[in-house]
Structure 1
């Protein structure tokens, strides 16, 4: 006999409200987008020029660490252009036929967003060269000596590609983007503006000192700031207390986010590097195995922030921990620990 579930059901209205808030947290115009002033100005000029000439905007490549707003900017490009938006991702396009089906279904002027564009299959990348430049693709029909190439014209479109690893893009593909914007980590003041806007939408009354604390622990990343804000909201709701500095500190401590924003995986990487490998140098794959994560996760998610704050160094012989990492972990710094100058 099935056990009776006493948990309250989530009402459809509550689900719709949460989805509406989730959508509202994303700004819909460049004027509302916080931070990245240089990229915003460049995009605004690009879109204004395209609008004055009644043509689709040039193809756009957005690069930078995860969580800085690349997807949101793609949505803004479509919204401010008055064009529909099609969403896809590089890992989903593993054959030239996948890309051909996607491109041939686009309407005139449509904005195509491909996230992690560097992870597309090579055959699809080569097809994309011609599509971006001449708005056509060649489809092979048949096999062997009887194979025939049939050209297929495409509707003019704007491709917005996003990548966390621009260096992996082949030069012929990168050169076909009319504009390349690199998104930088946010400073605390801009993050506080993001948190203030999101807190208003979530109905969380945060004093300035509490906003500053969340911003300080958000690793310069709006996505992380919004995620931490949601956890603070849950904490004060369950414990029925004001969202003051003490509540923010208690909530983030509960979720293993320390005073400078390092989480469990960050500290695990540093701890392995310092305590198990003597500060390094140690190879990426060895370090990833030591913490039970994929090497790509360590390289793309953990390392950029640790390098940025000066806790980890990349050298030809492997990763090394800096004196600042030892100090943060409270570990004694070995006298013979390697430094950049030694390598």
Structure 2
């Protein structure tokens, strides 16, 4: 799935410095994790009950849009259990042998985090079924009629899967997770808490009105909020007086083309094309993508979900349409 355009534009390619900054802002324990109160409480019960019994918790599946904290929660699970975390991803495991190699190297009680688990290859999925349920894998030796399967016992481990598209997970795999948590978008007040905490970790003071301004433009996503915070800090350092106040926040977000609703250049290009070139629609996805110079998949997976969620665009059997809110946001008058 394509990375959100705000991430790509604001992150400048997510270089090593930026990745290190993101890692430094991650909470380490459940009591430091802001938001997602339902999932946090449920997960706390699962982990502490397992610790009280002296055993391992059930396997955990975390679903939800990108940037809401699935990877962070996986790290927290390992920290709360007092064990290490082994990280891999679905696209990286192309053969069952790749997964068998990872599983066979696990230590007892270790947490295996599989990001984008819905993209696992089918042979690897079938191997994971057995590993999660029976803590063993069958290694096939040889080919043809002479091939044989050698069972390999695995130490008990905890699998944590993360997915942005839970509907693509096959039922047999989904059923092997004892706990499933769905992460929702954050509200503005929760994002303000995230920003104030992050500013403290960055060694700077973020004023309350600036925190509210950044939170309102962060698409309900902590990852975007933290990246916008770092861009505001950059502006304050280079062009301002070093203070992270409302003036710095608004000026910096204007430089990075993030408007008051959190729309970026691509979002506004899609809305503008829909309204000014096609009279508000309906218009097909491919035609709309050509109008803005992007691939249809980019428009569909990067811009469209946020525009639909904000009530600026609608999807109909005949194509995409602009809502009255879209015309109002662009300052345009809809056709009679």
Q: TM (normalized to structure 1)?
A: 0.88
- Aligned partner of 2:167 in structure 1 is 167
Give how far 1:119 is off: 1.1
Query: In the alignment, is the contact (CA less than 8 A) between 1:29 and 1:76 conserved in 2?
Result: yes
Q: 1:295 to 1:170 in 2, by over 3 A?
A: farther
Give how far 1:134 is off: 1.0
Q: 1:164 to 1:16 in 2, by over 3 A?
A: closer
CA distance in 2, matches of 1:128, 1:72: 23
SS at match of 2:149: strand
Q: 1:290 to 1:160 in 2, by over 3 A?
A: farther
For structure 2, the residue ranges without an aligned partner over 5 or more in a row are 1-14
- Aligned partner of 1:197 in structure 2 is 197
CA distance in 2, matches of 1:284, 1:160: 35
- Aligned partner of 1:269 in structure 2 is 270
Query: In the alignment, is the contact (CA less than 8 A) between 1:94 and 1:121 conserved in 2?
Result: yes
Give how far 1:298 is off: 3.3
Q: Which moved more, 1:153-162 or 1:303-312?
A: 303-312
Q: 1:80 to 1:63 in 2, by over 3 A?
A: same
CA distance in 2, matches of 1:292, 1:123: 38
Provide, for residues 59-114 of structure 1, a one-character-per-residue CA deviation record: whole Å limited to 9, x for no partner. Answer: 11111111100000000000001111011111111111111111111111110111
Give how far 1:31 is off: 0.4
Aligned ranges 1:188-337 → 2 under 5 Å: 188-241=188-241, 242-335=243-336
Give how far 1:285 is off: 4.5
CA distance in 2, matches of 1:287, 1:128: 41
Q: 1:93 to 1:284 in 2, by over 3 A?
A: farther
Q: TM (normalized to structure 2)?
A: 0.89
Q: Which moved more, 1:281-290 or 1:93-102?
A: 281-290
Between the two proteins, the alignment pairs up a number of residues equal to: 321
Q: 1:166 to 1:17 in 2, by over 3 A?
A: closer
Q: 1:316 to 1:69 in 2, by over 3 A?
A: same
CA distance in 1, matches of 2:222, 2:245: 20
Give how far 1:18 is off: 8.3
CA distance in 2, matches of 1:52, 1:320: 54
SS at match of 1:149: strand
| Structure with more contact order per residue of length (Cα contacts < 8 Å, sep ≥ 6) | 2
- Aligned partner of 2:10 in structure 1 is none
Q: 1:131 to 1:277 in 2, by over 3 A?
A: farther
